[in-house]
Amino acid sequence: MAQINPTVGDLTGNADLILEYLQRASAVNADITLFPELALPGYPPEDLLLKPHFARANRRALERIIAASKKQFIILGFVDTDGSDIYNGAAVIVDGQLIDVYHKTYLPNYGVFDEERYFQAGRKYPVYVWGEARLGVNICEDIWYPGGPDKMQSLMGDAHLIINISASPYHANKTYDRERMLCTRAEDNAAALAYCNLVGGQDELVFDGNSLIINEGGHIIARGKAFEEDFIVADINLERVFAERLHDPRRRREKIRLTADESLYLVVVKETERNSLGTTPITPFAYQRLDEAAEVYAALVLGVGDYIRKNAFDKVYLGLSGGVDSALTAVIAADAIGAENVYAVFMPTNYSASESARDAELLAKNLGIHYQVIAIQEAFEDYLKMFAPLFQDLPVDVTEENLQARIRGNILMALSNKFRGLVLSTGNKSEMSVGYSTLYGDMVGGFAVLKDVPKTLVYRLCQYVNQRDDKPVIPEYIITRPPSAELRPDQKDQDTLPPYVVLDAIIEAYVEDDMSAEAIAQMGFAGETVRWVINRIDAAEYKRRQSPPGIKITPRAFGRDRRMPITSKFHH
């Protein structure tokens, strides 16, 4: 299984990557080599799929793979077309010939998925007869349904091995749920299962890899790396599958009850010499699953790094405030693209605490990133002087606070323009939820690293970062000090917001679980607090529409995952 990291639309580069892994497969005498869902065009191609010439170019790239694949058995994801529509396809290539194409049956159209917008659904379930081996092939969502193609392939088609090529995007704790489901499918079908997943970052999405090979008893025998490319090699004993079925009379009864219809078909694959015959059996290896903090952190590093690299940037700029959010963003950026490519700017006013300056500089030194100070007090005073005739006799309020944030955003964008670096914004999901952020100020940038990371999780990730190395990189005071935007004297976040542990719980209930204000209050939260948070979430939708993309971490991220109208009179 080639757990690869392709780039959407890079048909030549993706084909080169696929050919590289096919050479590795030949070197280990692999009988069958799997690649992820839509590995050739990259996933998800979105509206590139509406361009007929994109599908044609993808087919030309496939022909290149076919021509170079003598003496190999390959399952590869690509965009197929029959001249009247397009399909999410799995090419079955044997000994330099395209012998069949499987079309994805279940097209997900929820959350971040829009496959019904683009593809026609398949209606056929193939089983490939290769000597004594029978192989069923399906794609991603097909395996998530208990009565999906895998059941027909394994029960009525007697497939010993179910092959599922996938592009399953990550969110926290999904890997556990997915593994449990896949193990259940293997055990229920009394079939070995090979699940080859995509890895890499694509805009807001991160694909975690964690490809699996599971035996007929539902036990994992191989697991690929998390958030890294990997080449997973294992031997599968298909005779054990046959023996397992002989001991299960329930399969015979169920076969009598069901009738194989025209959707199931067999393809007899020309028997060629198995590459693995006579070679030393391979002992598969199962990497350990990461714990939640390590998993989320790895997803952020991969997502940030791929966004930067795949969009042809070589450096990033960010505002370093001495606070916890910008500190974590800086650490992630340094791990993603190297400390030498990270440029941090501290932009103080008279409201900036001396501790902020101290800790920002110390963090930059610990990380080895570039660091400079650009004081903005004079620019801020010039703004106040300019507005004085208009603002006279009006009290100082959030307007003056936002001026400071927008000056900082302007500086970062100027550096980006002049030196061709990507600006990373540093706000977290808790702030983005309730609009505790400044449009065209601290929200400015090309990528929002922590956009889907709640504040309470930010603290946990900071602790994780400090505990993983011998020496903590984030100064302890950054983590323990009360958070503040430092836009007015003695300002604290909690002057405006509920405690973050309360705020994050309400946000999760309202945003991820779609609970009403009344139901959330019944969880033990003050009704007034719940209504305030919900009102702020609803009112801030227009801000979030203008925010940079950010990595999906929670089950329901803002943007392409949670889509709410800006103009709406329905509340709570």
Rounded-to-integer distance, Cα 558 and Cα 21, Å:
36
Rounded-to-integer distance, Cα 226 and Cα 295, Å:
8
- Residue 485 has what pLDDT? 66
How sure is the predictor about 267, in pLDDT bands with cuts at 50, 70 and 90? confident
368 and 471 belong to one structural domain: yes
Rounded-to-integer distance, Cα 330 and Cα 317, Å:
9
- Residue 471 has what pLDDT? 86
- Residue 204 has what pLDDT? 94
- Are the beta carbons of 387 and 360 closer than 8 angstroms? no
201 and 297 belong to one structural domain: no
Is residue 266 predicted with pLDDT exceeding 90?
no
Rounded-to-integer distance, Cα 244 and Cα 264, Å:
23
Is residue 517 predicted with pLDDT exceeding 70?
yes
Q: Is residue 146 part of a domain?
A: yes
Is residue 43 predicted with pLDDT exceeding 70?
yes
Encoded tokens for 68: 């170079």
* Mean pLDDT for the chain overall: 90
- Tally the domains of the chain: 2
pLDDT digits (tens, 9 = 90+) for 85-98: 999 999 999 999 99
Q: pLDDT over 70 for what percent of the chain? A: 95
Number of residues assigned to the chain: 572
- Are the beta carbons of 132 and 122 closer than 8 angstroms? no
260 and 298 belong to one structural domain: no
Rounded-to-integer distance, Cα 104 and Cα 88, Å:
6
Is residue 156 predicted with pLDDT exceeding 90?
no
pLDDT digits (tens, 9 = 90+) for 493-516: 676 788 999 999 999 999 999 999
- Are the beta carbons of 426 and 408 closer than 8 angstroms? no
Q: Would residue 37 show up in a list of annotated catalytic residues for this protein?
A: yes
pLDDT digits (tens, 9 = 90+) for 98-143: 999 999 999 999 888 889 899 999 999 999 998 888 999 999 999 9
Is residue 256 predicted with pLDDT exceeding 90?
no
Report the CATH number that the domain containing residue 113 is assigned in CATH. 3.60.110.10
How sure is the predictor about 481, in pLDDT bands with cuts at 50, 70 and 90? confident
How sure is the predictor about 161, in pLDDT bands with cuts at 50, 70 and 90? very high
For 421-447, what is the mean pLDDT?
A: 93
Encoded tokens for 224: 């690929």
Q: Would residue 104 show up in a list of annotated catalytic residues for this protein?
A: yes
For 266-279, what is the mean pLDDT?
A: 71
Rounded-to-integer distance, Cα 67 and Cα 61, Å:
10
Encoded tokens for 451: 């956009």
264 and 298 belong to one structural domain: no
Q: Is residue 254 part of a domain?
A: yes
Give the DSSP letter string of 162-221.
EEEEE--B--TTHHHHHHHHHHHHHHHHT-EEEEEE-EEEETTEEEEB--EEE-TTS-EE
β 422-425/447-448 pair status: parallel
pLDDT digits (tens, 9 = 90+) for 381-433: 999 999 999 998 899 998 998 999 999 999 999 999 999 999 999 999 999 99
Q: Is residue 298 part of a domain?
A: yes
How sure is the predictor about 254, in pLDDT bands with cuts at 50, 70 and 90? confident
Q: Which of 238, 276, 214 is nearest to 133 (CA)?
A: 238
> 20, 51, 71, 104: which one is catalytic?
104
The residues, ordered by sequence, that sit 6+ positions from 243 with a Cβ below 8 Å of its Cβ are none
Q: At what angle do helices 500-507 and 527-539 cross, to 10 degrees?
A: 70
199 and 237 belong to one structural domain: yes
Please give the single-letter amino acid code of residue 89.
Answer: G
Q: Which of 445, 449, 228, 421 is nearest to 341 (CA)?
A: 421
Rounded-to-integer distance, Cα 233 and Cα 284, Å:
6
How sure is the predictor about 451, in pLDDT bands with cuts at 50, 70 and 90? very high
68 and 123 belong to one structural domain: yes
89 and 40 belong to one structural domain: yes
Rounded-to-integer distance, Cα 113 and Cα 166, Å:
13
- Residue 280 has what pLDDT? 72
How sure is the predictor about 486, in pLDDT bands with cuts at 50, 70 and 90? low
Cite the DSSP H helix spans in 420-526. 429-434, 455-468, 476-480, 500-507, 517-521
Is residue 571 predicted with pLDDT exceeding 80?
no
Is residue 340 predicted with pLDDT exceeding 70?
yes
For 286-310, what is the mean pLDDT?
A: 93
Report the CATH number that the domain containing residue 438 is assigned in CATH. 3.40.50.620
80 and 143 belong to one structural domain: yes
> 46, 116, 140, 378: which one is catalytic?
140
Q: Is residue 109 part of a domain?
A: yes
For 39-66, what is the mean pLDDT?
A: 94
Is residue 488 predicted with pLDDT exceeding 80?
no
Encoded tokens for 568: 């709406």
Q: pLDDT over 90 for what percent of the chain? A: 71
130 and 234 belong to one structural domain: yes
251 and 209 belong to one structural domain: yes
Rounded-to-integer distance, Cα 259 and Cα 22, Å:
38
pLDDT digits (tens, 9 = 90+) for 351-375: 888 888 899 999 999 999 999 999 9
How sure is the predictor about 272, in pLDDT bands with cuts at 50, 70 and 90? low
How sure is the predictor about 274, in pLDDT bands with cuts at 50, 70 and 90? low
Give ∠ CA 176-182-183 in degrees, rounded to 5: 90
Q: Is residue 566 part of a domain?
A: no
β 161-166/133-139 pair status: parallel
Is residue 195 predicted with pLDDT exceeding 90?
yes
28-45 b/e with 16+ CB inside 10 Å = b?
Answer: eebbbbbbbbbbbbbbbb
Q: Is residue 281 part of a domain?
A: no
Q: Write down which residue in 211, 235, 268 finishes a domain.
A: 268
Characterise 513 by phi-psi region: left (phi > 0), alpha (psi -120 to 50), beta (else): alpha
* 496-504 LR contacts (CB < 8 Å, sep 24+): 496/436, 497/430, 497/434, 497/436, 498/529, 498/532, 498/533, 500/430, 500/454, 500/455, 500/456, 501/456, 502/529, 503/430, 503/433, 503/434, 503/455, 503/533, 504/430, 504/454, 504/455, 504/456, 504/457
242 and 330 belong to one structural domain: no
- Are the beta carbons of 8 and 44 closer than 8 angstroms? yes
Is residue 15 predicted with pLDDT exceeding 90?
yes
Q: How many CA atoms lie within 13 A of 176 on its CB side?
A: 6
DSSP single-letter state for residue 121: P
For 233-241, what is the mean pLDDT?
A: 88
330-358 b/e with 16+ CB inside 10 Å = b?
Answer: bbbbbbbbebebbbbbbbbbebbeeebbe
Q: Would residue 115 show up in a list of annotated catalytic residues for this protein?
A: no
Please give the single-letter amino acid code of residue 257.
Answer: R
Residue span of the structural domain in which 39 resides: 2-268
β 316-319/342-346 pair status: parallel
Q: Is residue 569 part of a domain?
A: no
Q: Write down which residue in 227, 252, 268 finishes a domain.
A: 268
Q: Is residue 212 part of a domain?
A: yes
235 and 343 belong to one structural domain: no
Question: Among 342-351, 474-483, 488-497, where is mean pLDDT lowest?
Answer: 488-497
The residues, ordered by sequence, that sit 6+ positions from 380 with a Cβ below 8 Å of its Cβ are 349, 403, 404, 407
Is residue 279 predicted with pLDDT exceeding 80?
no
- Residue 259 has what pLDDT? 67
pTM of the model: 0.91
pLDDT digits (tens, 9 = 90+) for 60-80: 999 999 999 888 999 999 999
Is residue 273 predicted with pLDDT exceeding 70?
no
